[in-house]
Structure 1
Amino acid sequence: MNEEMKIQVVSIDSITPYPDNPRNNDDAVEPTAESIKQFGWQQPIVVDKNNVVIAGHTRLKAAEKLGLETVPIVVADLSDEQARAYRLADNKTGEMAYWDDKLLDQELSKITDIDMNLVGFNLDDIEPELPQDFFEENPDSESDSDTKNYLEWGSNKVLLSQNDIKILDDQFKKFNDGGENGSFVTFLVDK
C-alpha cells in the first residue's frame, strides 16, 4: 500500500486513454464536466507508469470537453494485471452502490444554490417529503359520512377531511389546467 499519494499536474496531452476500456462513459461526460466546473478537481486521474488511464476516463473526457490544458494525476505502482483488475473493479464497485431515496431527498432539499440537474440528477423525479402535519383535519368541518379518508405517502397515512379533499382536487385542477411542469407535490409545496 502506498504510504503517500503524490498528485502531479501534467499536460492533458501526456495522458493516454486505455484503448480497450470496456466502460462506455459518454453519457457521464457532460455532468462530470459540470461537476469539475462547479467544484474543481477533487479526484485525480489514476494512470500507470506510462500515463495510460487506469481510473478516470470520464474525468479525462470532461477535461478535454472543458478545454483544459492540464489535469491532476496519480501514478499507480501496479503490475499490468493489477492495473487491469483495478480498472474493472473501480467501475464495478460503483455499480453495486444504491441510493437511500429518503436520505437523498433530504440532502438534495438542502442544496438551493446549485443546479443538481447539471450534474446528473433529474430533480423532476424527486418528490419532496411533506411534513407529518402537512394536512391538518379541521375539527369544525362536517363530514358527509363516517368514512375516513387517508392520503398515503410512502409509509405515512394522513387523515383528510372532506374540505382537505376539495382543496386538493381544486389544486390538482389548477395544476393540470395551468400546464405546470414537474410534479404535483412540488407544485403544492411551492405554493
Structure 2
Amino acid sequence: MRDEHHKGKTFWNLFMENHKTLLKNAEKWVKDTTNSCMIVSTLIATVLFAAVFTVPGGNDDKTGFPLLLGKDSLLVFTISNALGLFSSMTAILLFLAIITSRYEAQDFLYSLPKKIITGLGFLFLSLAFMLVAFSATLTIVLDKRVEWVLIPITLLASLPVALFVVLQLPLLLQMFRSTYGQSIFSAEDIWSEA
C-alpha cells in the first residue's frame, strides 16, 4: 500500500528527506577531516621545499654544486625529497578540491570518498618520503662517526609511518569498502518512484 506522501517521489528523494541531518553531519566531518589533512600536507610540503635549498653537506662556494654530489645518500635524499614534495602537493590539491566541493548528497556516494581516499594515500606517501629523506640526511651527517646510531634512529623514523597506517587504515578500508564494494545505493530502483 502506497502512502500519498510518497507518491511521485523516488526512493532516493525519500531517503534524502528523512536524513537531512545525516547530510549536514557528513559535510561537517568531511570539512574537518580535510582541513586537518590539508594542514599536515602543507607543513610537509613546506619542510620538503625548504630542504631542497639546504642540501646536506653544503654547496661548493665557487660552483654552487653540492659537495657530496657523488654520494648515494645524497641521491636518495634528493629523490625522496622530490617525490615527497610532489606527493604532498598532490594531496593539497585533492584536499582543496574537497573543500571547494558542492557537498551534494550524490557527491558523498563516490566523488568525495574517492578524493579523500586518494588524498590520504598521497599524504601517507609524502610522510614516508619525508622520513626517507630524513634518514638519508642522517646517514650523510653521521657518516662513519656514530654508525651504531643509524639503525635505531631509522627505526624510530619509521614509527610515524607505522602509526599513520595503524590509525588511518580502518578509515581507509571502511571508505574503500563503502565506495567500491556492495552498496544499497547501486541498485537502479532507488531512482524509480516509491
TM-score category, normalised to shorter length:
under 0.3
Higher helix residue share: 2
Larger radius of gyration: 1
Q: TM-score, normalised by structure 1?
A: 0.23
Q: Of the two structures, which has the highest relative contact order with CA contacts closer than 8 Å and spacing of 6 or more?
A: 2
Higher strand residue share: 1
Q: TM-score, normalised by structure 2?
A: 0.23
